[in-house]
Structure 1
């Protein structure tokens, strides 16, 4: 794995400037993830990207992801990562060690160099991803924010020209992504606390199995079936099956009855 500190670009190339301008223009838009990735491809090829935050002691959070020119499996990949692979991911340790200085670092990691075989096989080999370029920055809450660009197998390795463009793009892209996250998080109402909803559901129906609890709690948070499926790494059909079983246990027929019973309760 290669890593290096970001240095301010003295004179960005024209294609990098145009790329960053397009990314900035999409900030706050619902389609930011796909528009920004398409813009980035004006400076370097990346078939997919993801932006997420990782901690040492809690599950990671995916802020956005998208693909360009290939089938989008980024959320499927993150669901696998969130399901436990993150606990053995040491690829961001250097960024954590830089937290005292607040430095942002860049990393280049080829799939074959991943130290964890399960990680390498479940995400990179299974989905045809060959290489990752990352901009990684420590955050005030002891997390690390990672902006990741991926080459897929058909794209080969990142070229020296692409790496040079990436270095010129890095600071502006990181700042733009941070601003987009700030804007969209402010615009999105805070969801009810998941742990409190779990507790309320357990009190009401102690026989609910863990996955049925997970699904019902997220329904009460306002997530759609698609959103629950992405969050839990399940298919929509499986989510609906868990919902049906849970409703049968609780004697409910409609989602409105679930909300009437639990919304507003701690």
Structure 2
């Protein structure tokens, strides 16, 4: 039975709680978790029902090159999430659930592309996830990764994460709630900043296009201003809208066309 009163566990929990609300939460929380469960990297993302693209909330690495955002871009942009059955026990759109710990070796990834683009390319061996369906129907996945130099997670590490899962999820949820609140109270952040807060993976050109759309520019005007072809502007718009889960310009204005309040 896992002893949550052990000194190293208490150190981990103290570090995790202390990281909540800090700008460097991802790095601090990963360092704290390493007191109990060794992980060279982690990511927190959200899967939505109805085939909406997943959303990356935060990620960090420790002792290895940080490729977490590259991995997430491959997961989203290559459509790997559409074939991902590793969270099948917790279906997005289902009823809210308690956190569950799920384990997946790289060789068990749902598709050859998933194995190659994420696990083999970046020398990731295994994933332990604290996953739960949230009240809005989305699936929150808190993922810890072992890399080649670490081998597989030990049974003791998995048992520890099972014991810590409710506290880990609560800490992440609390941090994300504070981020949303801070964003809502922020004085008139510019549209570009709000776009980045919603999706950190947007490229500079995608931001350029969306920012000008929010100013009321036409596609032709944007193309002329940025020195791009009309088709290229439309491609950037389509990519940005897919990342943001949007379909129409009206949705862009509804979410980002005014100061948050």
Q: TM-score range by the shorter chain?
A: 0.7 to 0.9
> TM-score, normalising length from structure 2?
0.72
2:160 aligned residue (158, 165, 174) = 165
**Cα distance per residue 1:14-50 (max 9 Å; x no partner):** 2112101111001000000001101111112100000
Shift of 1:223: 3.9
Which of 62, 71, 85 is the aligned partner of 2:56? 62
Q: Assess if the C-alpha contact under 8 Å between 2:43 and 2:58 holds in 1.
A: yes
In the alignment, structure 1 residue 144 sits paired with structure 2 residue 114:
no
For residue 65 of structure 1, give the secondary structure of its aligned residue in structure 2.
strand
User: Which TM-score applies when normalising by structure 1?
Assistant: 0.71
Q: Alpha carbons of 1:10 and 1:251: their partners in 2 closer, same or farther (altered >3 Å)?
A: closer
SS of equivalent residue, structure 1 residue 34: helix
Q: Give deviations 1:168-206, integer Å, cap 9, x for gaps.
A: 222111110100000011111499xxxxxxxxxxxxxxx
Paired with 1:177 and 1:20, the residues of 2 have a C-alpha distance of: 12
Deviation at 1:92, TM superposition (A): 1.0
Distance 1:251 1:180, change over 3 A: closer
Residue ranges of structure 2 left out of the alignment (5+ in a row): 211-218, 228-252
Alignment gaps of 5+ in structure 1: 1-6, 192-219, 254-261
- Listed one character per residue, the Cα deviations across residues 197-217 of structure 1 (whole Å, up to 9, x for unaligned) are xxxxxxxxxxxxxxxxxxxxx
Q: Give the alignment's Cα RMSD to 1 decimal.
A: 3.5
User: Alignment partner for residue 120 of structure 2, among 121, 125, 129?
Assistant: 125
Name the counterpart of 1:104: 99
| Aligned residue runs from structure 1 range 1-266, under 5 A | 11-57=4-50, 58-83=52-77, 84-96=79-91, 99-100=94-95, 102-189=97-184, 221-223=191-193, 231-232=201-202, 249-251=223-225
Decide which moves more: 135-144 or 89-98.
89-98
Provide the rounded CA distance (Å) in 2 between the counterparts of 1:247 and 1:71.
Answer: 40
Q: Deviations over 1:123-179 (max 9, x none)?
A: 111111100000001111211101100000111001122222222222111110100
> C-alpha separation between the residues in 1 aligned to 2:184 and 2:198?
17
Q: How many residues align?
A: 220
Distance 2:221 2:93 in 1: 49
